[in-house]
Chains A and B, each alone.
Chain A
Amino acid sequence: MLDYLRFREDDTPDVSAVTVDAFLDQTNAAAVRIEPGDDARQLLPHLEQLRLVEVNFPSFGDGRGYSSARILREAGYQGELRAVGDVAVDQLSHYRRCGFDSFFPDVPFNPEDAQAALDRWPYVYQAAADARAPIWKLRHGDQG
């Protein structure tokens, strides 16, 4: 079983994440943890100093973390973006598309299920936070 999955070449940052409120108060932390109710945009002025952002999914059904992830990537955040909590193996490719590059689930992943989920979609319909070219781009080349 896989306790975690990571898609980065660099070392796992040896820092512990603080809450968004604590981060905004002290401003020298290098890791922060976003809860579903937090506004990821509050972090945007401080992206340079961040090496790790954890996005917590307290329950699978609360999808706010997907938007938080994309917002950070859209603003140019390059550090590790980690999904933690009730991270569903079946959604792995969707998390990846929103910009997550590491996963520390509460319940370890079955490696075969994880691989199957990551390989699931031969194409994608939308532009998102990953580098995959949407189907409309494949259909029309660079007119998009």
Chain B
Amino acid sequence: MYKYDSYDQAMVDARVEEFRDQTRRRLDGTLSEEKFRPLRLQNGLYLQLHAYMLRVAVPYGTLNSAQMHVLADIADKYDRGYGHFTTRQNIQYNWIKLEDTPDILADLAKVEMHAIQTSGNCIRNISSDQFAGATADELIDPRPYAELLRQWSSFHPEFLTLPRKFKIAVIASQTDRAAMKLHDIGIRIVKNAEGEIGAAFYVGGGMGRTPMIAPLIREFVPLDQLITYSEACLRVYNRYGRRDNKYKARIKILVHELGADEYKRQVEEEFAHLLTLNIEPPIAELERIKAHFADPAFEAGASDALDLSDPDFALWVERNTLPHKQAGYTIANISLKPVGGIPGDASAGQIHLMAELAKTYSFDELRVTHAQNIVLPHVRKADLYTLWQKLDAAGLGTANLDTIEDIIACPGLDYCSLANARSIPVAQKIAQRFADNGQTGTLGELKLKISGCINACGHHHAGHIGILGVDKKGTENYQLLLGGSEGDDTSLGKITGPGFDEDGIVDAVEKATKVYLAQKQEGERFLDTYRRIGMDPFKEAIYA
């Protein structure tokens, strides 16, 4: 994985000192909260319902064990012993004191981490495929491109006060595991007819109150123009994105209002101009970064044999592991969704343990997924049983990846000042319901996502089943959506009808799954059946 050189380190250290200075001025009253707010936001510090929340960047979701240990230490020292992994592959702490924040950032900087641009109206942490470099189905590892973009977007002098936040995802496989088309810019690394590598740009996707799937703006940007093209996309947005209404300020609205063709025309014009200015890093820089992402030293001829005589282990292997590109290895997923737990939460002890296991069994590498789970990307099959036993003993062996129990939920009204309704208790009740009725396995792949308000941090639009918390005359109410997907077949869920209270929504979800089980044909997932039979049979059952 990427290692800082002295330049990268100096930049992150400078940021720590900058924020230390800003915090001092806030605490001595020189800076008003109004003036301080945009500065702290650019360092991932939010003021929430009960305390400050700090969001730490995990660039493209990749971590080593030393970094993971520091994340655990921070949970212990400055929070209440927990960290919360987010849908943007980051980690958040919910109980932070302002005066501690500069020290936390300094601790992070020691292991090449930071909270730079994890919030605010700027280019956010770049996300990517959580299985990059390990999966059998990728063209190339997408992370070097993400790293190139990370450096370009960090402290970019022109783009620190955009109309709204700006999220970029980079992938390089046919299977889209990063919801790329639901980002402000989604980049897919592709090969053209001549066999050259380049980037396809999808611009103007997003969730929130007006979800949109990003249209393809350019099929092929050569690798030595990647930054220049990105700069053109951003400049058009910075100049013409709406600033009169924060709900219309995302780039998706600009692309939608101009039309994809007109937006593209403007970008191409700006691009032609920017190409004359030589703002592109040389290919040698990309090669330098790529060298950091070379394969670890896999053992040649490692055995693919697995002893599955322990049924609990067999179930975990079936549900939580995925094929690795290297024979004898597997991708192991650690579910942070134990039934009754808080989706994405891990205790300091668990974070330490995952770090140790990564060091021993996964070439010192971990990933954070946008489904709020952790991945050990390179595990030798011969080690898998031992690994699972250690996970299981720490409450980390839950076998429910991509099932209805593997719920994505935003923090909701338990923490978030914008929330209309609680997300976490609903997730807990649903997981409990299906654990109790024993249907989790029968239902197979079923992605359920919950947001506590229309801002859609829980990606409810993209869930096979989505739940949206709304405020109905002062009480918490939940709308049900069906048919969303974030994969290659990206689609947006549709609302079934009137909303439900907390218990009602759990019942409604169960009814929807019964319709699926009654109607499904051979090989169909919930989503496939929904697409074939449409909304009506579900509606009838849910509102009967």
Contacts and interface: CB of A to CB of B under 8 A. Distances in A.
Interface of A: 36, 39, 60-64, 66-67, 70, 74, 88, 90-91, 93-95, 97-98, 110, 113, 116, 120-128, 134-136, 138-140, 143-144
B455 interface: no
Contacts of A143: 282, 284
* Nearest 10 CB-CB pairings of A with B: A63-B161, A97-B157, A136-B281, A94-B157, A127-B279, A143-B282, A144-B282, A136-B285, A66-B158, A135-B7
Contacts, number: 106
Interface of B: 5, 7-8, 10-11, 14, 17-18, 21-22, 25, 30, 35, 38-39, 121, 151-152, 154-162, 235, 238-239, 243, 273, 277-282, 284-285, 288
Contacts of B159: 63, 66
A85 B152 CA distance: 28
B253 to A, nearest CB: 16
A123 B7 contact: yes
Contact of A67 (B30, B235, B273, B278): B235
Instruction: Output the residue of B17, B238, B281 with the most chain A CB within 10 A.
Output: B281
Contacts of B154: 125
Contacts of B35: 60, 88
Contacts of A91: 160
Nearest to B120: A61
7 contacts: A63-B121, A121-B14, A123-B11, A126-B279, A128-B279, A139-B288, A144-B282
Contacts of A64: 238-239, 243
Contact of B11 (A88, A95, A121): A121
Instruction: Output the residue of A39, A63, A70, A144 with the most chain B CB within 10 A.
Output: A63
B284 A140 contact: yes
Given A61-B121, A120-B18, A66 B157 contact: yes
Instruction: Output the residue of B17, B39, B161, B282 with the most chain A CB within 10 A.
Output: B161
A139 B279 contact: no
A91 B158 CA distance: 11
Contacts of A62: 161, 243
A90 to B, nearest CB: 6
Given A74-B273, A125-B156, 17 more contacts: A61-B121, A63-B159, A63-B162, A63-B238, A66-B160, A66-B238, A90-B22, A113-B25, A124-B155, A126-B156, A127-B277, A135-B11, A136-B282, A136-B285, A138-B7, A140-B285, A144-B278
